[in-house]
Chains A and B, each alone.
Chain A
Amino acid sequence: MVENTVAATNAVVTLDAAIPGIIWGWMITLNMWAKSIGTGVILIGAYLLYRHKHESMPNLRWLMPVISFVALNVFLFFTLIDLHQPLRMINIFLHPHWTSAITVGAWMATLFTGLITLLALIGTMDQFPDFRRHCKVGKWARDNTEVYEKIFPYVVFLAIPVTLYTAIIMAESSARELWQAPTEMMQMLLAAFLAGSATLIFIADDWKVEVRKDLALVLAFSTALGFMMYMGEYFFSFKSAEAEVTLTYIQSGGAYSGQFWFAMLAGFVAPFFLSISAMKSDNTTILRFAAIIALMGLYLAKDVWLKIPQLLPLS
């Protein structure tokens, strides 16, 4: 439609000011990717704890919050340094504007990270009883070990909106028609399932076979559904002129086309089949390989989807 319009009008910009290119770049991609790991390990960890006995996953209690803590700090670090005025981040807490998903997300992510820090502290101190035996913080953590189980349900509940709020930021970015709230929310949730299961696979060597099978199942499920969502958006989300031009461009082999298809095949399709295979054979090497390429594919896919709507001139 737009191509026909252009051909019909023969309109060409002959003088203009220079316009910017991509504003939200790799730091935002890394931010979303790390957040998927940070919330995903909690969501998948909770699912495993619900399905299996604690003894089946002996290191989960302390490694799950520690991994989440590291990933969330990567997420927060890149969120901060992506700001042109990082020291003014404090304004989000001093002058919050509640219609903004950035504000709501920052508050929730801060609370979530605080609770995860507490879980990581208690879990680590319980796991290593001789570490910092006389430290006041360590002593407090060991004396209040029941706090872990008390706050864990709230942490799991909070992980869901923390996962989803970036989709609302993208939906509020009304200049980028490709980012639609319902699909982005599902993509964010599936990304968390994918990243959580893939990350936990790396610490699952000593776990029972049934637990690893569950992890492989979640990875297969999330890669398959994620792939289908991307295909649906890629081929059928021609609801606005802007989304149409964006998708036509990459479908015709424009920049990012190669990265998109590489991400889809290597990061979603291949891990799906590898996970299914690993479920049957309990081959941990295959499962780890599937986890690595799934995490890589997730980063590349998010990178493409973040950048391509920014290719369009808005004025």
Chain B
Amino acid sequence: MKLGFLVDLNLCMGCKGCEIACKVENEVPLSSWRLRVKYIDVGTFPETTRNFTPLRCNHCENAPCERICPVSALHYLENGIVNIDSDRCIACAGCMMACPYGAIYMDPETNTADKCTYCAHRIESGMMPACVVACPVEANIFGDVDDSTSHISRYIMEHQNNGGVQVRKPEKHTDPKHYYVGGGNNTLNPLAHQRIEGYSLFNNVTHLDHVGDPNHSILDRFIGSHPEYDNKSLADERLDAQTKEHEEQGGH
């Protein structure tokens, strides 16, 4: 048995029901997430589209987080789930460095690493993951990808022509067991879109300033001309360059 997940992005309407269900089911603290739905606006007005991309642990068959974990807190279950034992975790953050999908967080209450487990505790009791149950349009499809008669296997087979079924960052050779239908470079590649502070729909906080090292680049504080010292300055700089180019081409 190899449990897998598929999200049909053509069906997802960005209601965030799955996100909330996950938070409640797993008691995920504030400022942390196991599953989140990202909104990405593509195009130039009036020809714009809004895309919704649910992001969670990919439960890779060749999981870098499992490999780097020094105490086997991250481990495979027999059904293919990459599970985490919080009681064993030493919280070295090696898994956060290794996961190419940014799916692991440091729980501020337990001070240990945590992530989506496909609701392993519910699976054990014969139930579906909380996010699957909550989805009003059945965009989340969960099941055994080893079983060719399962819903997820049939869904993959139906949509796999012309690259219809995708995974995130296939070049990392992690062999994710989390698939997307209806995705593309815009939605699945984090470098293909910009993350701009202050441009969000309902909030303007895009980075956790209280997480990680606050003492960034000591020297740049004195000799640099950068008001920001975290990764949002990277996004801002790319936006500035693009805006300048746009203006030079006659745009406004």
Q: Is the beta-carbon distance between A173 and B94 smaller than 8 angstroms?
A: yes
Shortest distance between the CB of A210 and any CB in chain B (Å): 37
Q: A15-B38, A245-B191, A259-B220 are in contact. Are A254 and B206 (CB under 8 A)?
A: no
Contact with B along A152-193 (1 / 0, CB 8 A): 000000000000000001001111100000000000000000
Q: Is the beta-carbon distance between B193 and A13 smaller than 8 angstroms?
A: yes
Contact with B along A224-247 (1 / 0, CB 8 A): 000000000000000011100100
A315 partner, pick from B55, B88, B111, beta carbons under 8 A: B55
Most buried by A among B38, B99, B174, B238: B238
Contact with B along A38-66 (1 / 0, CB 8 A): 00000000000000000000000000000
Task: List A contacts of B237 (CB < 8 A).
Answer: 249, 252, 254
> B79 within 8 Å of A by Cβ?
no
Most buried by A among B38, B193, B234: B234
Q: Is the beta-carbon distance between B215 and A85 smaller than 8 angstroms?
A: no
Of all chain A residues, which has the CB nearest B99? A175
Q: A7-B242, A97-B71 are in contact. Are A256 and B217 (CB under 8 A)?
A: yes
Q: A2-B191, A21-B209 are in contact. Are A13 and B39 (CB under 8 A)?
A: yes
B-contacting residues, A5-20, CB 8 Å: 5-7, 9-20
Q: Is the beta-carbon distance between A84 and B97 smaller than 8 angstroms?
A: no
Q: Is the beta-carbon distance between B68 and A173 smaller than 8 angstroms?
A: yes
A311 partner, pick from B71, B208, B234, B242, beta carbons under 8 A: B234
B-contacting residues, A73-102, CB 8 Å: 82-86, 88-89, 91-92, 95-97, 99-102
Of the candidate stretches B100-108, B117-125, B141-149, B158-166, the one touching chain A is B100-108
B192 partner, pick from A11, A99, A175, beta carbons under 8 A: A11
Q: A13-B38, A13-B194, A259-B219 are in contact. Are A101 and B68 (CB under 8 A)?
A: yes
Q: Is the beta-carbon distance between A315 and B201 smaller than 8 angstroms?
A: no
Task: List A contacts of B218 (CB < 8 A).
Answer: 259, 303
Task: List A contacts of B219 (CB < 8 A).
Answer: 258-259, 262, 300
Shortest distance between the CB of B211 and any CB in chain A (Å): 4
Q: Is the beta-carbon distance between B191 and A21 smaller than 8 angstroms?
A: no
Task: List A contacts of B196 (CB < 8 A).
Answer: 12-13
Q: Complex formed: what's the CA distance from A310 to B99 in Å?
A: 12
Task: List A contacts of B199 (CB < 8 A).
Answer: 12-14
Contact with B along A97-113 (1 / 0, CB 8 A): 10111110010000000
Q: A12-B193, A92-B71 are in contact. Are A25 and B223 (CB under 8 A)?
A: no
> A3 within 8 Å of B by Cβ?
yes
Chain B interface residue count: which class?
35 or more
Q: Is the beta-carbon distance between B71 and A258 smaller than 8 angstroms?
A: no
Task: List A contacts of B168 (CB < 8 A).
Answer: 315
Most buried by B among A11, A89, A96, A312: A11
Shortest distance between the CB of B176 and any CB in chain A (Å): 12
Size of the chain A interface, CB-CB below 8 angstroms: 71
> A215 within 8 Å of B by Cβ?
no
Of all chain A residues, which has the CB nearest B45? A10
A-contacting residues, B18-70, CB 8 Å: 31, 33, 36, 38-44, 50, 55, 64, 67-70
Q: Is the beta-carbon distance between A83 and B90 smaller than 8 angstroms?
A: yes
Contact with A along B215-246 (1 / 0, CB 8 A): 11111100110101111011101100110010
Q: A89-B90, A96-B70 are in contact. Are A255 and B206 (CB under 8 A)?
A: no
Most buried by B among A24, A85, A92, A312: A85
Most buried by A among B39, B185, B208, B231: B231
Of all chain B residues, which has the CB nearest A27? B213
B93 partner, pick from A12, A24, A315, beta carbons under 8 A: A24
Q: Is the beta-carbon distance between B39 and A15 smaller than 8 angstroms?
A: yes
Q: Complex formed: what's the CA distance from A9 to B48 in Å?
A: 10
Top 7 A-B pairs, shortest CB-CB distance: A25-B213, A84-B91, A314-B102, A11-B193, A15-B39, A173-B97, A102-B70
Residues of A within 8 A of B (CB): 2-3, 5-7, 9-27, 82-86, 88-89, 91-92, 95-97, 99-103, 106, 169, 172-176, 240-242, 245, 249, 252, 254-259, 262, 300, 303-304, 307, 310-315
17 contacts between A and B (CB under 8 A): A11-B40, A11-B192, A12-B42, A12-B196, A13-B39, A16-B36, A17-B36, A18-B206, A22-B231, A82-B92, A91-B70, A102-B94, A173-B94, A255-B216, A258-B217, A259-B224, A312-B234
Residues of B within 8 A of A (CB): 31, 33, 36, 38-44, 50, 55, 64, 67-72, 88-94, 96-103, 105-106, 111-112, 168, 171-172, 174, 185-186, 189-196, 199-203, 205-209, 211-213, 215-220, 223-224, 226, 228-231, 233-235, 237-238, 241-242, 245
